[in-house]
């Protein structure tokens, strides 16, 4: 099929809110009916299209035109349908179209450790349960099955991009390649024996190999470094990891200022807080995606702004492990880039970004005793365009605008809890559940259509996950006997 050159199509991009008079296409734009060149891959329609652009445009009876993985036009469905003929259409009745959700911090394969150790403080949970269990059970096969399980859950819930930090990153990348999601995948760096390395030097060396193998290989996959935290790596190892990341020009994801323990550890060992330490060793000299950031001081917040650190708020994990309440409203007001994340399923215990949105809003409101902080609109931004900016993909994803990658979802608004709807954004944040997500598109490819998973063999993954979990459970029972 002949494809219309992309630059030509941009000439008549339709981008008008329903309240505005529709803009007519440029005079030289070919009408769909008189030119086979108006044929494109996909049209996704909706009763409302929530673009998440800077003007917060919501188009009533809208549609998104997609070709070769790129959004060509966003506008009233009548205009899109008059301009293009698509090979495939996702019909819009009872559907809301919006950008796919961005999960800025996860440990995907930990879906297989969901529920094995609950109701514990962070350091007890990590040192006495999670790290030992990982060394004993985690291998490439564990990571493959656990990541597939996570991708299934995330696609089902409307997440299209995530930032992962776990072991065997090549295996994670292979799963992402086949399931069709977009991901930043961290090579974990930690100074202890881990499932795939013997310590910091070994994990940096293996990370170098991973990035060499995956950089530039698949536009949906960005290999990065993931130094675990400042209490599992010393200052020299943190500096070495940043140097390795700079050499490849890749970002870093890290746990930062997560718990009072971490801040205290830093003060005792370095005479300064975590963020001050990172600033003092030049760690923020390259792009940083910082998970949690629960305990930044008023003096540290300007450092996060100036160094353009992307902060990922994980309200559920922070609540469950009792890490604290991150000053999200304060950071946003200061100009920090803030996104949302689930953290791993072992500390959440699911990968539901709708729940994260709701809890992010409620937690700030009750902590500050002020219902006006962190509005539904602000939180929806954190889960989409704000999250995309926080992870360094703001130019590529996060809004529905011409020229961006076609990562978008359709949410079904016909369940009883969406009847009636006065305000779509209010419903998306305060009502919607992951089960309401109907269809998911990444890079122009449909990964889920009306609830049917198209890129993951869910029956096989469920069988494999249950079999592996049975082995883990009997080993844990044996150990506890």
Residues in contact with Zn ion by CB under 5 A are 343
Q: Which is nearer to Zn ion, 171 or 347 (CB)?
A: 347
Please state the closest distance from residue 33 (CB atom) to Zn ion, in A.
Answer: 53
Please state the closest distance from residue 344 (CB atom) to Zn ion, in A.
Answer: 6
Q: Is the peptide bond preceding residue 420 cis, with omega within 30 degrees of 0?
A: yes
Residues, the chain, total?
A: 481
- Residue 337 makes CB contacts below 8 A (sequence gap 6+) with 308, 309, 310, 311, 386, 389, 390
Please state the closest distance from residue 257 (CB atom) to Zn ion, in A.
Answer: 13
> Radius of gyration (Cα) for the chain, nearest Å?
22
Residue nearest to Zn ion (CB): 343
Q: Which is nearer to Zn ion, 279 or 343 (CB)?
A: 343
- How far apart CA 134 and CA 144 sit, in angstroms, is 14
Q: Which is nearer to Zn ion, 83 or 323 (CB)?
A: 323
The two three-digit tokens of residue 40, written as one number: 């494109």
Q: Which of 99, 176, 103, 97 is nearest to 350 (CA)?
A: 103
Beta-bridged to residue 189, according to DSSP, are: 227
Q: Is 173 helix (H, G, I), strand (E, B) or coil?
A: helix
Please state the closest distance from residue 129 (CB atom) to Zn ion, in A.
Answer: 15
Q: Which is nearer to Zn ion, 105 or 381 (CB)?
A: 105
Q: Which is nearer to Zn ion, 343 or 356 (CB)?
A: 343
Parallel/antiparallel/unpaired status of strands 337-340 and 310-313: parallel
Please state the closest distance from residue 165 (CB atom) to Zn ion, in A.
Answer: 6
Q: Which is nearer to Zn ion, 40 or 290 (CB)?
A: 290
Q: Which is nearer to Zn ion, 51 or 316 (CB)?
A: 316
Q: Taking the chain, what is the end-to-end CA distance rounded to the nearest angstrom?
A: 65
Please state the closest distance from residue 313 (CB atom) to Zn ion, in A.
Answer: 12
| Residues of the chain by 3-state class (helix, strand, coil), percent to 5 | 45, 20, 35
Parallel/antiparallel/unpaired status of strands 39-50 and 85-90: parallel
Please state the closest distance from residue 311 (CB atom) to Zn ion, in A.
Answer: 13
The number of beta carbons lying within 10 Å of the beta carbon of residue 269 is: 13
């Amino acid at each position: 099929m002949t494809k219309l050159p992309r630059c030509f199509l941009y000439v008549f991009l339709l981008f008008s809110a329903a309240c505005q008079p529709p803009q007519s296409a440029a005079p030289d734009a070919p009408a769909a009916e008189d030119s086979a060149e108006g044929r494109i891959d996909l049209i996704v329609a909706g009763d409302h299209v929530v673009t998440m652009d800077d003007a917060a445009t919501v188009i009533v009876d809208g549609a998104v035109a997609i070709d070769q993985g790129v959004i060509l036009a966003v506008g009233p469905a009548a205009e899109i349908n008059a301009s293009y003929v698509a090979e495939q259409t996702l019909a819009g009745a009872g559907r809301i179209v919006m950008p796919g959700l961005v999960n800025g911090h996860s440990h995907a394969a930990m879906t297989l450790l969901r529920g094995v150790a609950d109701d514990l403080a962070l350091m007890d949970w990590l040192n006495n349960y999670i790290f030992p269990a990982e060394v004993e059970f985690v291998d490439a096969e564990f990571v493959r099955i656990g990541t597939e399980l996570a991708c299934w859950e995330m696609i089902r819930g409307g997440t299209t991009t995530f930032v992962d930090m776990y072991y065997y990153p090549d295996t994670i990348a292979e799963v992402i390649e086949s399931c069709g999601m977009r991901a930043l995948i961290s090579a974990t760096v930690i100074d202890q024996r881990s499932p795939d390395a013997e310590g910091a030097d070994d994990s940096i060396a293996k990370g170098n190999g991973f990035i060499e193998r995956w950089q530039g290989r698949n536009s949906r996959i960005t290999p990065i470094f993931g130094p675990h935290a400042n209490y599992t790596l010393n200052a020299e190892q943190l500096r070495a990891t940043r140097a390795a990341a700079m050499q490849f020009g890749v970002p870093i994801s890290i746990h930062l200022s997560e718990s009072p323990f971490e801040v205290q550890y830093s003060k005792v060992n370095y005479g300064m807080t975590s963020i001050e330490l990172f600033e003092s060793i030049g760690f923020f000299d390259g792009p940083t995606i910082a998970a949690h950031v629960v305990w930044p001081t008023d003096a540290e917040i300007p450092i996060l702004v100036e160094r353009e650190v992307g902060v990922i708020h994980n309200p559920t994990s922070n609540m469950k492990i009792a890490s604290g309440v991150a000053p999200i409203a304060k950071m946003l007001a200061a100009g920090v880039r803030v996104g949302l994340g689930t953290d791993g399923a072992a500390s959440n215990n699911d990968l539901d970004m709708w729940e994260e949105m709701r809890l992010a809003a409620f937690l700030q409101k009750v902590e500050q005793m002020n219902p006006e902080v962190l509005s539904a609109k602000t939180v929806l931004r954190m889960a989409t365009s704000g999250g995309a900016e926080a992870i360094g993909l703001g130019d590529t994803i996060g809004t529905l605008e011409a020229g961006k990658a076609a990562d978008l979802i359709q949410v079904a608004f016909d369940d009883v809890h969406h009847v009636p709807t006065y305000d779509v954004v209010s419903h998306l944040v305060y009502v919607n559940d992951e089960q309401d997500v109907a269809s998911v598109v990444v890079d122009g490819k449909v990964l889920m259509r009306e609830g049917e998973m198209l890129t993951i063999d869910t029956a096989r993954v469920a069988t494999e996950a249950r079999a592996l979990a049975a082995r883990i459970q009997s080993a844990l029972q044996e150990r506890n006997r």
